[in-house]
Amino acid sequence: MAGYGYSFVTDKAFSAFARDLEQGAWKSVSIDKYDVPNRVPTALLLEAPKPVIWKARALWSIRALDEALGVASAAALAELDTEWDASQRALHLFLASAAEGKDPAHRDAAVRLRGALLAGAGTEQTRYTYDAEVDYGWHQISVAGKAPLAADVKKVGAGPYLKRVEEATEALAKGLGRSSGQKRAVARSKRIREAVVACTQAFNAIHDDIGWLVAHTPSGKQRDLLEALHAPFLALLERSPQRAPAAAAPEEEVEDAEEEDAEEPEAEESAPE
**C-alpha distance across the termini of the chain, in Å:** 60
Cα separation of 18 and 62, whole Å?
7
Which residue blocks in the chain are alpha helix, DSSP H?
Answer: 11-20, 50-69, 74-98, 104-117, 130-144, 149-156, 159-175, 186-215, 221-239, 248-270
CA distances from 81 to 60, 185, 229, 255 (A): 22, 21, 27, 44
Q: Model-level pTM greater than 0.85? A: no
Successive 10-residue mean pLDDT values, the chain, 273 residues? 86 94 97 92 95 98 85 75 97 96 94 96 94 94 95 96 96 77 63 92 97 97 97 95 60 44 43 41
Residue from 102, 116, 101 nearest 152 by CA: 116
* Beta strand ranges found along 13-165 (DSSP E): none
Q: Which amino acid type is present at position 206? A: I
* Cα distance between residue 131 and residue 94, in whole Å: 25
C-alpha closest to that of 206 among 184, 230, 238, 240: 230
3-class DSSP state of 208: helix
d(CA 111, CA 119): 13
Instruction: Give the tens place of pLDDT for each residue, 27-67.
Output: 999 999 999 988 999 999 999 999 999 999 999 999 989 87
Q: What does the pLDDT read at residue 233?
A: 97
CA distance readout (Å), 216 to 170, 182, 223, 227, 271: 51, 52, 9, 12, 68
What pLDDT was estimated at residue 270?
41
Look at residues 143, 186, 204, 196 and name the one whose alpha carbon lies nearest to residue 11. 196
Tell me the per-residue pLDDT of 49-60, one tens digit each, with 9 for 90 and over.
Answer: 999 999 999 999
